[in-house]
Structure formats: C-alpha cells, structure tokens
Chains A and B, each alone.
Chain A
C-alpha cells in the first residue's frame, strides 16, 4: 500500500516537474525533455495502477504510449534541429514567425 502511494506521489512530482518545465523554460530541447518527463510520469501511474488492480490493461497501454512517444520524438527532434539551424539558437522566444 505504502509502495503504491509512494509511486503515485513520484508520478505526480514527475508530471508537475514536466508541466512547469514546459511552461517556464524557453529552450526548445528542454521543453521536449519535459514533455517526455510528463509522459513517463503517466506511464509510471499506469504501471502502478496495473499492479494495484492486478490487471494487464494498464501495462499494455504503456507499450502504446512508448510507440507514441517514439513517434513524437522522431518528428520533434528533426523540427528542433532544423529550427536551431535557421536561428542558431534553441530559444523559443525567437520562433515567432507563426504570428498571425
């Protein structure tokens, strides 16, 4: 029981870290890493619930999230790479060409 609470607490802390990171940091790479952190927090929560309820569906969902995360990174990293080549900076403040 204590393990479950501990694990869920860790998951919450990780998610909060990721969320705050996305919102306050201006480095595109760091923002991406924070997003991964939030995904991992969710994965941790799913695995914990899976253990707690002794069902497999949570664990199965984890694989799905891995796939999504891998796909996301595979697209996001090249975007960030191209952007940083154009601007020679990773600061998202500079990326305002989408302004309407």
Chain B
C-alpha cells in the first residue's frame, strides 16, 4: 500500500523535475509523453486504491518519513488514505490527465511548452500531497505548494503586465487567508500538542471544553476561534467573499490551468480541508453559521457578476466562484458529503466548460470577448455539444451530474435549522436562476445567433484537433452520468463512514435520506421543487434577451444604470482593495520608513550615537591645554585627592 501511494505522488514529481530541468534537451514530444504517462500511472493507481477501499481494504494511516521531532510534536510526511482522500485523488489525477492531454493541443505553439508541462505535473504532485496528508504540516505544505504553482502558472506569460499583476494579486490575497489558516493550526497544536488528524480528533472533547481569551475578559470557545481561523484559510484558497478577488484575475493564465487549478482542483482544497476537519467544525455552531453565510453570499453575488461580464473565461470563473459558494454553504449546514459530491461533479463539468472555452479561444485566435463571437455551433460541433452538456450539468438539468449535487445542496440548506439557513436558502435558490441565466448567455452568445467575428477569423474557423476534443468528450461523459451512481452511496449511504463526522443534531443529510428512494425518484422529486423551474426560467430569460430580442439587453442595461455600474465594478471590491488596503499599506510603509527608519533608527540610533561621540570628544579636548604645568597641577591635585580618600577611608 505504502509503495503504491509513494508512486502516486512520486511519479508526477519526478516527471516534473525531469521536464523542468531537461525539457530543452529531451524535446517536446518526450516531455509531454513523460509527464502525461506519469499522471496516467498516478490516475490508474488512484483508481485501484479507491476500488480497493470500496472492496473493504483497511484505511491507510501512517507516517512514511519523520522530518523532525520538536518538543514532542512530530513533523512527518504521512498519508491518510480513506474514502474521502481516495475520491479526491481520483478526481485530481483524472482531471489532471485530461488537462495534460488537452495541453498538447492548446499550447502547441507556445515557446514555454516544456515549462508548462513541468508546472502542471508539479501541481498534481502538490495537490496529491495536500489531499493524501495525515497531518496538518503536510496539509499546509501542499496548500502552499499549490499556491506557488498557481502563482507560477497565472504569470506563465510573464511578459504580460496584466498576468504579472494577477499572479501577485493571487499570492497576496492568499497570504491573508494563509495567515488565518496558520493561526488555526497553531491553536490546534497549542491545545492538543499534535499535528496529526487522528490525534487531534481524538482530543475533540478537550477542544470543546477549552476557551481562548483573545480580548481580556471575553472568553471565546476554542473550537469557534480555531474553526473560523481555519475557514479563513479556506476562504483564501477557495475564493470566498471577501477574499475572492484573485480568482477572476487568475484567468490571465493559460486556459488549461484555469480548468485544472482554478476550477476543478486547487480552489476546492478549502472545501476538502473543511470536510476533513469536520469533527472540529461540528463542535461550533457559530463557526458553521459563519461558513454558511459566507458561502451563500458568495454563491449569489458572484453569480450576478457572471451576467455582466463579456470575457468568456471570466464568466466561467465567476460561475466557479458561485459554485464554490454552494459547496461552502453546504459545509455550513454540516452536509460535508454533499459538498464533496458537488465538488466532484463540479470538477468534471467545470473543467469541461473551461476546456471548451479554451477550444473556442484557439479557434478565435485568442479572442476572448463573447461580443465578437456567435454562431460557432456549425464550425465546432464537438466543442458545442460538450459545452452544452457542461452548461446543462452546471445549471442542474434533471438527470445531469450537477442536478443531483446542486439539488442536494439546496435541499440540505433548506432542511437546516442553523442561524442564517433561511437567508442562505433564498440566496442559493435565486442563485439557480442566475446560474442558468449566465451559463446560457454564454452558450447563446458564443455558439448561437449572428456571427460577429471579423472576416479573417471566420475563414479560419475549424474544429480543434483530437487532443483537444478527446478530453472534452471524456469529461462530458461523467458530467452526464456520474450523478446516478454517485448520489446514493455518497450522500445518503455510508461511503464517508469514518472520514466525515456529523453530529446527530446537524445531520441534515440523514434527514433527507429518509425520503430518498433511489436516483430516479430523486429526479422526479426535483420537478416538484422550485430549483428546476428557476433554472428553466433562467435559460428562457437568456434565450429571450440574447437570441430573440438582442436589443432588449442594451435597453435593460440603460434602465438599470446604477446597478449595472455596481456589477461592472465588481461591487467595488477591487477599488476598495487598491484604494484603501493597498494604498493604506503603502502609506503605513511610507510613514514607518520616514518616521521609524529615517528619523528613529538612522537619525537617533545611528547618526545620533556618532554625534554623541563627536560632542564628548569636542568637550574633552578642552582639557588638553598642552601646557606642562597644567598637567603637573592635575597630577598633584589627583594625587592629593587619592591620598585624602585613602586616609578618610581608613
């Protein structure tokens, strides 16, 4: 078992190192074969591990290497492979494999071809380390490593100033989240003296009984403080409001990484982490409420932004934000299994949508503005079909993967009695309409309607090569069918037994499970709820505004001037960050430089001591008159004083 796991994480790492250091020597074909093969091996072994676990193989939880032991705290590289991490491993390696294949076509003409393969393999390694970890230190290592690779890949085209700005932004915003995450880890180590999941969870009772006095006189429940701190880390990585600002800008990177990192895997690390920490989150209803409200707010308000954007990738990015909000809200009502289920289905259809968008972008010669597209359906049938499947799965068309997971999310939030659950339920419900609207706005603007591209582009329009369309087709299949076999065991069965802990009082999925009678009944039941009809209304509205009466959209934009400006400026989050936080930091830095560095350290400490020495010397040189009799006099006086003192003392 240990050997298998080492190969799963080791193969992408080795391939990445070889591709990164020797890429130029071994050539493009060898590089992409090597890295893709390494991911394929990891993927096959992950599937084997998952199947083994389903057959009843024991959960692997153990160290493979002890890095150091300090004050009784062991820092180790270790793996915990239960059904939760095995599922994540399969999702990560499968999407990564698809993206590797896709990249062969997408990056064909790029001078950084081998570098790109090295990065995405390295990313796969880091992400696997994150999900397979059995302790917080390795989790943090993976957490930061995926952040670094994300930084490198957003700024992949490093000559582009916007890309450099975007990767810096992603890095800085994630620092804020990581700070909270580190505080959470530190709190856990402080209380339990261990970094290992199993040891920490075993002491859940101790944590529940402890309090922190952050402000003297106000004792706070330790579990609440720790869980909120950990969740702030998740907010950074999973782009929840108000730390979401980096994700839309990360679209400056090449499209394959938008699919792999910024849709399917890395951004779901926060969701995974909270699910992994479920025994702790169950201790604090306050923290759960916080998670729920943040998630629901993100789900609705980021969806609105998708409506006004015209960049094909950014629309998908806002949709990702919104869907991450759904997962987070589901975590908030303790439906961790529902979150992971939605994470999995989302990984498939969102990667599919991004890759389809990438396919369109190749055909359009790197034009991303949807206003210059239209009518691509007849030029790119495979891309159109797969994008349509992805969109249907995203809006929750009955029977598609997204339907099962999203409907379960909404039902779970509806069934919850946590403070904020009603607000969250309405946010998510309206979010369904918004999701359907922007998804089909994208489909209609890109693939239907009149052809708005220029003559030259139209002549060169053609379907992408097979390396691009194959991953699209392979991703489209699970986007359609994965819900049918998945929903029963994942949501209402005992698949996550032992991996996820839910307190009986919070068990909304168990409550829903009593009315669950198989996937077909679930689909039929969906028609009685509002979500399906809202999604249909969204599609109809998009069809009416963008196909039937395209002029109406402009009129609406005129009418809702203020609201449109608000959305256009993304609720002024960027404005606030740049004008208040960044400018304030710069002012603070300037003040510290002028006040602290120049005035105090340089002025008082460094130059001040030099001036003091000079002043003492200037004063003391007056004593040196140069006259012999002055010195003789001083000697005699000194001698007399010394003698007098000796006599007086005795």
Q: Are A23 and B636 in contact (CB under 8 A)?
A: yes
Task: State whether A100 touches B621 (Cβ < 8 A).
Answer: yes
Which residues 594-650 of B have a CB within 8 angstroms of A? 620-629, 632-633, 636
A93: CB under 8 A from chain B?
yes
CB<8 Å pairs between A and B, sample of 13: A22-B629, A23-B633, A23-B636, A26-B629, A31-B632, A92-B627, A92-B628, A95-B626, A95-B627, A98-B626, A100-B622, A100-B625, A100-B626
Interface string of A24-46 (1 = CB under 8 A from B): 00101001000000000000000
- Tell me the number of A-to-B contacts counted with CB atoms below 8 Å: 37
Q: Would you call A97 an interface residue if the criterion is a C-beta within 8 Å of the partner chain's C-beta atoms?
A: yes
Most buried by A among B622, B623, B624, B632: B632
- B628 to A: closest C-beta gap in Å: 4
**CB <8 Å contact, B626 and A19:** no
Cβ contact within 8 Å between A99 and B626: yes
Q: Is A96 an interface residue (CB 8 A)?
A: yes
Do A97 and B633 touch across chains, with their CB atoms under 8 A apart?
no
Complex: chain A residue closest to B631, CB-CB: A98
Check A97–B626 contact: CB distance below 8 A.
Answer: yes
Q: Which residue of B lies closest to A95 (CB)?
A: B628
Q: Flag if A96 contacts B626 (CB, 8 Å).
A: yes
Cβ contact within 8 Å between A100 and B623? yes
Which A1-56 residues have C-beta < 8 A from chain B? Answer: 19, 22-23, 26, 28, 31
Contact residues in B for A99 (Cβ distance below 8 Å): 624-627
Cβ–Cβ < 8 Å partners of B622 in chain A: 100
> Which 10 A-B residue pairings sit nearest by Cβ, starting from the closest?
A99-B626, A100-B624, A100-B621, A96-B626, A98-B626, A92-B628, A22-B632, A99-B625, A96-B627, A95-B628
Besides the known contacts A23-B629, A23-B632, A98-B626, 17 further A-B residue pairs in the complex with CB atoms under 8 A apart: A19-B636, A22-B632, A23-B636, A26-B629, A28-B628, A31-B629, A92-B627, A92-B629, A93-B627, A95-B628, A96-B625, A96-B627, A99-B624, A100-B620, A100-B621, A100-B623, A100-B625
Return chain A residues, CB-CB under 8 Å to B621. 100
Residues of A within 8 A of B624 (CB): 98-100
Tier of interface size on chain B: 10 to 19
Contacts of A98 in B (CB 8 A): 624, 626
Pick the most buried of A19, A26, A28, A99: most chain B CB atoms within 10 A of its CB: A99
CB A54 to nearest CB in B, in angstroms, measures 25
Cα A26 to Cα B622 with chains together (Å): 22
A92 to B621, CA, bound (A): 20
CA distance A31 to B636 in the complex (A): 14
Contacts of B623 in A (CB 8 A): 100
Report the minimum CB–CB distance from A96 to chain B (whole Å): 4
Chain A hits for B633, CB < 8 A:
23
- A28 to B632 alpha-carbon distance, docked (Å): 12
Report A-chain residues with C-beta under 8 Å of the C-beta of B628: 28, 31, 92, 95
The answer for the CA separation of A99 and B621 in the assembled complex, in Å, is 8
- Chain B residue numbers with a CB within 8 Å of A19 are 636
Task: List chain A residues, Cβ under 8 A from B626.
Answer: 95-100
Chain B residue with the shortest CB-CB distance to A19:
B636
Q: A97 vs B621: C-alpha distance in the bound complex, in angstroms?
A: 13
Q: Which residues of B contact A95 (CB under 8 A)?
A: 626-628
CA distance A26 to B620 in the complex (A): 25
The complex places the Cα of A31 from the Cα of B627 at a distance, in Å, of: 13
User: In the complex, A86 Cα to B622 Cα: how many Å?
Assistant: 25
What is the CB-to-nearest-CB distance from A31 to chain B, in angstroms, rounded to a whole number? 7
Q: Report chain B residues within 8 Å CB of A97.
A: 626
CA distance A26 to B630 in the complex (A): 11
- Interface residues as binary, A66-100 with B (CB distance below 8 Å gives 1, 0 otherwise): 00000000000000000000000000110111111
- Chain B residues contacting A96 (CB-CB under 8 Å) are 625-627
* Shortest distance between the CB of A50 and any CB in chain B (Å): 21
How far does the alpha carbon of A31 sit from the alpha carbon of B41 in the complex, in Å?
Answer: 103
Q: In angstroms, how far is the closest chain B Cβ from the Cβ of A18?
A: 11
Residues of B within 8 A of A23 (CB): 629, 632-633, 636
- Complex CA distance for A60 and B624, rounded to whole angstroms: 38
**B271 vs chain A, min Cβ distance (A):** 77
The docked-state distance in angstroms from the alpha carbon of A22 to that of B621 is: 24
Cα A23 to Cα B637 in complex, Å, equals 11
- Chain A residues near B632 (CB, 8 Å)? 22-23, 31
Distance in Å: Cβ of B639 to nearest Cβ of chain A? 10
Q: How far is the CA of A99 from the CA of B624 in the complex (A)?
A: 5
Measured between beta carbons, the chain B residues less than 8 angstroms from A92 are 627-629
Chain A residues contacting B625 (CB-CB under 8 Å) are 96, 99-100
CA distance A19 to B625 in the complex (A): 21
Which chain A residues border B627 with CB–CB below 8 Å? Answer: 92-93, 95-96, 99
A22 to chain B, nearest CB (A): 5
Q: How far is the CB of B641 from chain A (nearest CB, A)?
A: 15
